Amino acid sequence: MTESSLLTRLRAARASLPSLVALSAEARNGAVLAMASALRNNADALVEANAHDLAVGVAGGLSPALLDRLRLDATRIESLACSLATVAALPDPLADSAVPARHRNGLKLRQKPVPLGVVAMIYESRPNVTAEAAALCFKAGNACVLRGGREARQSNLAIAQLLEQALHACGITTDCVQVLDDPDRSQQAELLTRDDLVDVIIPRGGEALIRHVVANSRIPVIRHYKGVCHLFVDGAADLGMAQRLLIDGKASRPGVCNALECLLVHRDIALTWLPSAAAALMARGVELRGCAAARASVPSIAEASDEDWGYEFLAPVLAIRVVDDLDAALAHIRRYGSNHTEVICSTDATACARFVNEVDASAVVVNASSRFNDGGELGLGAEIGISTSKLHAYGPMGLASLTTRKWVIEGEGQVRHALE
Amino acid sequence: MTESSLLTRLRAARASLPSLVALSAEARNGAVLAMASALRNNADALVEANAHDLAVGVAGGLSPALLDRLRLDATRIESLACSLATVAALPDPLADSAVPARHRNGLKLRQKPVPLGVVAMIYESRPNVTAEAAALCFKAGNACVLRGGREARQSNLAIAQLLEQALHACGITTDCVQVLDDPDRSQQAELLTRDDLVDVIIPRGGEALIRHVVANSRIPVIRHYKGVCHLFVDGAADLGMAQRLLIDGKASRPGVCNALECLLVHRDIALTWLPSAAAALMARGVELRGCAAARASVPSIAEASDEDWGYEFLAPVLAIRVVDDLDAALAHIRRYGSNHTEVICSTDATACARFVNEVDASAVVVNASSRFNDGGELGLGAEIGISTSKLHAYGPMGLASLTTRKWVIEGEGQVRHALE
């Protein structure tokens, strides 16, 4: 019986781990820079491979939004190369901790950062994920197994070839980056069961994809279901500030996970503030759907259906609910929030403190935009994903989230029970 | 359609979370001390309930080892109460970090420790886990759902009643500790699918139980499959020290997960050291099973079968293999180790450094006993389990592993994109 091609690849990825741990930070950074150069120097070939995918996508009726995510052009390839150079410049996540070793029983105890091992990613259309994920995983000493979207097949294979070329030129085994060619998803089901060979799966894409992976995987999954982010504007708020946070949160980039999907307005300001806020959003093309009280203040707001609460529009649409008080806002967020990002705009320090303590989200934001919940903005550098569940990571995941820590216990012969 | 009793309990546990976060550290510690007192003051009732379980166990033919794990007597109840008092005295895992807030874009950024939420535990015979897990989860602000072994049913229900009484006396909702009465495991299958209500599952018990949970759970699982710990005695080793580490690792408590299961001996010392080491083990009743080279040095060693490598004996049995060098020892550990605890005994600093860097285990130990990989010994206080997979925790899990961190972003109206 011959081994499946997936199994051969997973074993090769796993077997490459000892050689990765032996690499210096300089060697790892050098290889990431070589990956950046390979992409930059072969932009024409990438654009050509991408053109194939775009043609297939157009023929298959992909939406303009999906085609846009799929597209690689000279500018985007340059930006991808720069993003890899940024990864190379980030601090080494495997550097020994600045925390000094502790001593106990004469033993020297420390926790040493180590790679997670083999990281699998399952993702959808954007081909730049292939290069970024490979660079981030590699820099943290991990092997990776990348299963991109079928619609980006030729682009991903072209990127894989360039990454392989870069690793080879640096004298590093190319086994550590495995880009799967799995157009019919036949390998994915097997992948999800191989917890003997894969340490973690990071799915990126729509909620359906992530739920499928969670339901079928024996491998630990880092989850990012969705971003249903709320802005609560308190009765005591700087209303000019509230409007700026609202416009930035909803209108600056509606398709991202840290954009606002719902505005909660304290009833004390529903009549005084909501009309101007609604007008500013509508002037920017945002469709508004509100509760009865919101519509009483601004009749041009459409009626919200039950499905609009807790819905991730990822589009210029905003749900608006008028709430009686902070408690009602907290209850709404508890019921409909997605543990991603929640914002309060208030000048009342007690209300802000309660919001910070009581809201369960990867980021709780006081008097600032929801859009700051982002690895780059929080100083983590490039991110591999955002976790909305609490195990291992909660929120944006930078390089450190691609490592764990093992205990190193150094002694001079200590035992727990002296010999009888 | 009426809701299942499990679902009612999970919802109640989840609904209790906001009230737990609102409790001060003093209130949480006070409740843990009240739990300790309730157990201590009702030892007779506990012993009586436990006698029921023991009688059923004897009638059902439970092994003496299992009956011993199941038994609660006055001494063990006192020790359990002390263990809870120790939990109360540990530092507050929800205390704000000593790391000062960072500033970026004028924003104040910090990561605040928060509870994981609802923690489910599925475990086997030992009833003390019920009280210890409840205390640890509660102290870290979590609600817990505890599904103990059928054989400890009456003991667990009696403990549950005392915990409830303690919480009630402190004015805390008893919904936060849910002890399931699920003798036919009918609720367990449903529990594993409720990732909307449960944040993490920690199974404790045999490998089969843990593999079952991993294969069937949609909820993140913290895994501890097994402890197959090796001691590698290098050619350059203090042989007196090596023997002390060997005896402590194998003979001091063979049934625990940080006990040794396999000795790897450098061939240079197989003839000179192995005979005395083997004699010392055999004098302590340890059965030895070795490779051909080990048997050539010590003929009284039995022949090891292929299944003995990588096997968790949890008993006074030790596999012994003679290896050519450090590389062969590392290769053996890579193939047969369980990511738990691996030990090197050597005076060669280069060999020790390679062992520390290249071995993938939650604890790598140099010239000390494997038995030090333990939450108490490492200064974490009581442990809720030991993780042998790398997500979230790797190694002993203390109170901190029952928390995660959320970002708190405080600003004065900052946005990412200025209004057009």
| pLDDT band with cut points at 50, 70 and 90 for residue B2 | low
Strands B229-233 and B260-266: parallel
- Whether residues A417 and B248 touch (CB distance < 8 A) is answered with yes
Longest dimension (CA), chain A: 86
* B143-189 residue pLDDT tens: 999 999 999 999 999 999 999 999 999 999 999 999 999 888 889 99
For the packed helices A239-251 and A274-283, what is the interaxial angle rounded to 10 degrees? 30
Cβ(B123)–Cβ(B149) under 8 Å?
A: yes
Q: How many CB atoms lie within 10 A of CB A79?
A: 11
Phi, psi of B195 (to 5 degrees): -75, -5
Q: How far is B44 from chain A (nearest CA, A)?
A: 33
> CA B110, B113, B114 angle in degrees (round to 5)?
125
A127 within 8 A of A153, measured Cβ to Cβ: no
**What percent of chain B has pLDDT above 90?**
88
Burial of A404 (0-12, 13-18, 19+ CB in 10 A): buried
Residues B357-396 as b or e (16 or more Cβ within 10 Å = b): ebbbbbbbbbbbbbbbbbbebbebbbbbbbbbbbbbbbbb
Mean pLDDT on A313-318? 95
What distance in Å separates residue A322's CA from the closest CA in chain B?
A: 22
| Rounded CA separation B391/A200 (Å) | 7
**Residue B205's pLDDT band (boundaries 50, 70, 90)?**
confident
> Tokens for A227?
């971003």
The CA distances from residue A121 to A37, A72, A131, A203, in Å, are 23, 20, 12, 6
Strand pairing class (B102-104; B107-115):
antiparallel
pLDDT of residue A184: 85
Q: What local confidence, expressed as pLDDT, does residue B419 receive? A: 59
Q: Higher confidence at residue A69 or residue A142? A: A142
The CA–CA distances, whole Å, from A321 to A231, A301, A393 equal 11, 11, 31
A408·B221 Cβ contact <8 A: no
DSSP letter for B114, please.
Answer: E
Angstroms from B248 CA to nearest CA on chain A? 6
Selecting from B200, B222, B358 the residue whose C-beta is nearest the C-beta of A21 gives B358
Res. A310: pLDDT tops 90: yes
Mean pLDDT of the A307-323 span: 97
Outline where DSSP puts E strands in B155-196: 177-179
Mean pLDDT value across residues A311-332? 97
Instruction: Judge whether A328 and A307 are in contact, CB under 8 Å.
Output: no
Beta strands (DSSP E) in A191-313 are 200-204, 229-233, 260-266, 287-290, 302-303
The answer on pLDDT for B420 being more than 70 is: no
What gap in Å lies between CA A190 and CA B95, rounded to an integer? 43
pLDDT score for A419: 59
Beta-bridged to residue B403, according to DSSP, are B115
How far is the first Cα of chain A from the last one, in angstroms, to the nearest whole number?
54
Which residues does A93 contact at the CB level (< 8 Å), separation at least 6? Answer: A113, A139, A140, A141, A399, A400, A402, A403
Rounded CA-CA distance A321/B202 in Å is 39
List the structure tokens of A143.
Answer: 């092997």
Q: Do B391 and A116 touch (CB under 8 A)?
A: yes
Q: How many residues does chain B have?
A: 420
- Choose among B109, B366, B391: nearest Cβ to A409: B366
**d(C-alpha B359, C-alpha A380), whole Å:** 28
pLDDT at A101: 84
Q: Do the bridges between strand B395-397 and strand B102-104 make them parallel or antiparallel, or are there none, so unpaired?
A: unpaired
Query: If DSSP codes are grouped into helix, strand and coil, which group holds residue A75?
Result: helix
Highest mean pLDDT among A178-187, A349-358, B64-73: A349-358
* Domains of chain B and any CATH numbers: 5-91+106-225 (3.40.605.10), 229-372 (3.40.309.10)
Chain B residues within 8 A of A215 when measuring between CB atoms: 218
pLDDT tens for residues B25-39? 999 999 999 999 999
ipTM score: 0.93
At A100, is the pLDDT very low, low, confident or very high (cuts 50, 70, 90)?
A: confident
Q: Three-state secondary structure along B365-390?
A: EEEECHHHCCCCCCCCCCCCEEECCC
What is the average per-residue pLDDT within A193-207?
93
Instruction: Give the position of tokens 């085994």.
Output: A173
* Chain B residues with CB-CB distance to A367 below 8 A: 410-413
Q: How far is CA A206 from CA A192, A368, B62, in A?
A: 18, 27, 50
* Residues B221-249, mean pLDDT to the nearest whole number: 96
Cα–Cα separations (whole angstroms), residue A180 to A134, A154, A347, A378, B62: 13, 12, 52, 32, 50
What mean pLDDT value characterizes chain A? Answer: 94
Q: What is the mean pLDDT of chain B?
A: 94
pLDDT in tens, A275-302: 999 999 999 999 999 999 999 999 999 9
Q: Best interface-test mutation with B: which of A414, A417, A420 has the largest number of B CBs within 10 A?
A: A414
Report the SS3 class of residue A313. coil
Number of A–B residue contacts, CB under 8 Å = 226
CB-nearest to A408 from B18, B238, B364 is B364
Share of chain B above pLDDT 70, in %: 99
In Å, how far is A301's CA from the nearest CA of chain B?
22
Q: Name the CA dihedral angle for B369, B373, B379, B382, rounded to a multiple of 10 degrees.
A: -130
pLDDT digits (tens, 9 = 90+) for A150-170: 999 999 999 999 999 999 999
DSSP H/E element including A220: none
B61, exposed or middle or buried, with CB in 10 Å at 0-12, 13-18, 19+? Answer: exposed
Band of residue B4 on the pLDDT scale cut at 50, 70, 90: confident
Mutant choice from B96, B97, B391 vs A, greatest count of A C-beta within 10 A: B391
**Joined tokens for residue A21:** 């741990």
Asked if pLDDT for residue B1 goes beyond 70, the answer is: no
User: Chain A closest CA to B30's CA: distance in Å?
Assistant: 21
Pairing of strands A118-123, A302-303: unpaired
Identity at B413, one-letter amino acid code: G
Q: Note whether B114 contacts A241, CB cutoff 8 Å.
A: no
Residue A329 in tokens:
């806002």
pLDDT in tens, B300-358: 999 999 999 999 999 999 999 999 999 999 999 999 999 999 999 999 999 999 999 99
Q: What are the CB-based long-range contacts (under 8 Å, 24+) for A98-104?
A: A102/B379, A104/B377, A104/B378, A104/B379
Q: What is the pLDDT of residue A417?
A: 87
| Token pair belonging to B307 | 């299944």
By Cβ distance, the residue of A248, A392, A409 closest to B415 is A248
* In chain A, % of residues over pLDDT 70: 99
Give the tokens for residue B48.
């009586």
